[in-house]
Structure formats: C-alpha cells, structure tokens
Amino acid sequence: MNSEHKIFAVIPAAGIGSRMQSQIPKQYLKINDFPIIFYALQTLINCPQICQILLVLSPQDKIFSTLNLEKFLDFSKVKILKIGGQTRAESVLNGLQYVKQNFHENSQKIFALIHDAARPLLKQQTLQKFIQQILLFYQQNPSQNVGGLLAMPLADTLKSEKNQQVIKTIPREHLFLAQTPQMFLFDVLFSALQNCSDCTDESSAVEKLNYHPLLVEGERSNFKITYPNDLQLAEILLKSK
C-alpha cells in the first residue's frame, strides 16, 4: 500500500434489521457464541492497512456496551460513536463528518472504507486484496478512479415480475451483486453522500457524481445476514473455518 494514504473504516450499525423478525438488531444476534458484529470488527481490526475504525451506533443503543467485546478484541483503533442516522447513508455520513472534525489529515490522501456490521464472513485475505486493487486503480488515474467495491457476478437467471407473474427474463451478463467493503476517496464519498441521503450503498452515491467505481470480485460466502436462515448458514461456514 502507498504509505501516503490512510484508510478510515466505518461500520454503520444503527439499523434494526426488521427482516430478521428479531426483537434485537440483527448485528447483535449470536453466531457460535459471539454477536454478528464481532466478526466484522475482528476482520477490520486485524487489517494493518486500516488506521482507524468508526463504529456508528444508534443514539439509543443500549446493547453494545453490554457485550464486553474488548475482552476478545483489541479496541485501540476503534472509536464507538452513537451518532447513527435514520438511514445507512446518514450513519456513514455522520461517521465521515466525525473524521473531518477530529482528524487533521490531508483529506486528499484519505480513503473511507465502509463495511456492513451484518456481513461476518469477510476473509482477511479478501479484504487486503481488495484494498490493494482499489489503491492501484486510483494510482493509475487519480482524477477519475476514486474507488470501488466488492461484488459478485450474478449466477442465477433474473426475472422481472408483476402480481407474482413473470413479465420478462433479464439477461444476467454484466450484472453484479454489490457487497461490502466499499472504499472511496474520502472527499468524493463525503460529497456524494451529502447529495444522496437515501442511497442504499456508497457506490450508488458515488455513481451519481458520474464516477465509475471498480468492481473487485469477492466471494459468495461474504453474504449479508438478512433473513433467519442466513444465521444457520453463517454458523456452518464459520465453524468450517
């Protein structure tokens, strides 16, 4: 990695995960005796390229402090912030605003890396490969190449429907499923999110500024915990590691 560049990571963890049908936010559900968020933190903490991790919680969060994860993880580069917003984009933007206000760095040399709290199966090797490819992409053309994301080529046939009936089949060539982490030049992402508070991922906000993020192929195991059955699959895969 180019030592001139610093990477600040943001984990937005202010959501409630309504599709999990759980009484607590899904990032606090347990897999193999640890909350889901533990695994995301562990991977980012162990990544030497990341200098600071901002964990953005809901202002009303009363659960995280009871987990005592400091017993199992080195929190020396983790900052816990109860500044989460109503949307993912707002939570990430609030985290970036904290960086602007508290870290007096040259923002032209800072990247922001965003990773889902409920994506526990990101491998360290995959993360470091991703960072290297994004930095290389940026160095090749700094004025145009501002970052990118992990993604997987669409494997299944895609259907468009109306009233539960197929309207048409959509060719899957050149279609990808977005994952995290996503990593962009700090100033570009900050500006993009200021103008896209309802974007569901960082790449879509950056795309609205007419940039073309790099797609770095990830792994199918790096899925987001969304539905109850995902917990069982994640448990099996984590045990196999």
Tens digit of pLDDT for each residue in 20-35? Answer: 556 789 999 999 999 9
- How far is Cα 239 from Cα 241, in angstroms, rounded to an integer? 5
**Residue 3: what pLDDT?**
56
Query: Are the C-beta atoms of residues 138 and 206 closer than 8 Å to each other?
Result: no
State the average pLDDT for the chain.
Answer: 91
pLDDT tens for 100-145 read 999 877 767 899 999 999 999 999 999 999 999 999 999 999 999 9
What region does 102 belong to: left with phi over 0, alpha with psi -120 to 50, or beta?
Answer: alpha
Q: Which of 182, 175, 168, 172 is nearest to 216 (CA)?
A: 182
pLDDT bin (cut points 50, 70, 90) of residue 238 is confident
Helix axes 36-45, 124-140, angle to 10 degrees: 50
Residue % of the chain over a pLDDT of 90:
72
Encoded tokens for 196 = 């896209």
Q: For the whole model, what pTM was predicted?
A: 0.92
pLDDT tens for 182-210 read 999 999 999 999 988 789 999 999 999 99
**Residue 103: what pLDDT?**
84
pLDDT tens for 33-74 read 999 999 999 999 999 999 999 999 999 999 999 999 999 999
pLDDT bin (cut points 50, 70, 90) of residue 1 is very low
Query: Are the C-beta atoms of residues 60 and 83 closer than 8 Å to each other?
Result: no
- How far is Cα 240 from Cα 86, in angstroms, rounded to an integer? 36
